[in-house]
Amino acid sequence: MLNVRQRVGAMDQVQYFSTADQSVSLIEGQYQSFEFKRHYHLDYHIGLILGGQQSFTYQGERYQVGHGDLVIMPPDELHDGCSVSDLGYKAQVFAIEPYWFERYAQTSQTPSCLSFKQPVIRDAQVFQFLDNAHHLLRQSSLSQLAQDCLPYDSFEPLIQRYSVLKPLSPYRLGRSTLQTLKAFLLAHLSEPIHLVELATLCDLSPTQFQRHFKATTGITPYAWLTRLRLEQAMKLLKANVSGTEVAQQVGFYDQAHFSKSFKQAFGVSPSEVR
């Protein structure tokens, strides 16, 4: 089990944990000075606010959450985050691969995905289930079968009460989709990526592609690709791939630039993720 405690800032700490299921990982953080700039994740991030207050923007709305609130952030959705006051906030987060939730959506003949009704939920019972699961999954003494079953049992109340099945409606980019584009980029992260190449995949001109991409995602293709590289870098570092090799695999040819970009995004340097 991965268990890494690293300092983020003067009074900030973050800790990462792996679990028996590779599609589920855990984060525990105490944040005061560190701010998350606008970004997205490849995974679902489901956070429990244990103390203090956090503010974040999601889909054009500003939210303020505190102790007992549960925050759900789907993949590919832009958001930010910071402490409301100098006192900071404490959070526990489940980072869950999308396909982990997709198995719950395979009950219909129509291709569908699991979606949650709101980004912030206040439900003491659901919160307690997940808080307990987060704690237990960090225990090395937990039996293998318990590790395997606990995530399913713990997320069942959240899914039953607050999720809905929606038809798949991928973000369209010309004649392609964001998911198709993401798959292409993940397969070529170590190579130089040209705007005309991406535009051609979508059957658009470079100017059309850049304009359409920003209107669809909220950020430029370059900013989106940079975040994709950093998200993939975090996954590789957690898998114990060396920082130098990770930088090359995700397309950073300057180690110093990679380290600086990574720390700005996650609050820790690549060498501290072990």
Q: Which whole-number Å values give the CA distances from 45 to 41, 73, 74, 201, 208, in the listed order?
A: 8, 5, 7, 30, 32
d(CA 88, CA 33): 7
Q: Is the pLDDT of residue 229 over 50?
A: yes
pLDDT score for 190:
94
- Whether residues 233 and 265 fall in one domain: yes
Rounded mean pLDDT of 2-23?
Answer: 69
- Whether residues 131 and 156 fall in one domain: yes
Domain that holds residue 256: 172-272
- Whether residues 7 and 139 fall in one domain: yes
- Whether residues 123 and 190 fall in one domain: no
Q: Is the pLDDT of residue 269 over 90?
A: no
- Whether residues 12 and 141 fall in one domain: yes
When comparing pLDDT for 173 and 2, which is higher?
Answer: 173
Please state which of the ranges 3-12, 127-136, 151-160 shows the lowest mean pLDDT. 3-12
Rounded mean pLDDT of 187-212?
Answer: 94
- Whether residues 146 and 15 fall in one domain: yes
**CATH code at position 252:** 1.10.10.60
Instruction: Scan for tokens 């979606």, then name that residue.
Output: 115
pLDDT band (50, 70, 90) for residue 58: very high
Instruction: Scan for tokens 């028996």, then name that residue.
Output: 20
Please state which of the ranges 8-22, 75-89, 178-192, 251-265 shows the lowest mean pLDDT. 8-22
Burial letters for 159-183: b for 16+ Cβ neighbours within 10 Å, e otherwise?
eeebbeeeeeeeeebbebbbeebbe
**HSE-CB of 56 using CA atoms within 13 angstroms:** 27
Of the candidates 220, 218, 201, the residue with the CA atom closest to the CA atom of residue 210: 220
- Whether residues 83 and 185 fall in one domain: no
| Of the residues 167, 195, 230, the one at which a domain ends | 167
pLDDT score for 110:
53
Rounded mean pLDDT of 243-248?
Answer: 93
Instruction: Scan for tokens 């980072």, then name that residue.
Output: 95
Q: Is the pLDDT of residue 173 over 80?
A: yes
- Whether residues 34 and 90 fall in one domain: yes
Rounded mean pLDDT of 19-24?
Answer: 86
Number of domains in the chain: 2
- Whether residues 108 and 122 fall in one domain: yes
pLDDT score for 102:
76
| pLDDT (tens digit per residue) in 109-120 | 555 678 899 999
**HSE-CB of 156 using CA atoms within 13 angstroms:** 5
**CATH code at position 13:** 2.60.120.10
pTM of the predicted structure, to 2 decimals: 0.87
pLDDT score for 86:
92
- Whether residues 186 and 229 fall in one domain: yes
| Of the residues 167, 197, 221, the one at which a domain ends | 167
| Of the residues 129, 151, 167, the one at which a domain ends | 167
- Whether residues 123 and 66 fall in one domain: yes
- Whether residues 124 and 213 fall in one domain: no
Instruction: Scan for tokens 């019972």, then name that residue.
Output: 125
Instruction: Scan for tokens 């099945």, then name that residue.
Output: 165
Mean residue pLDDT across the chain:
89
Q: Is the pLDDT of residue 5 over 50?
A: no
pLDDT score for 112:
64
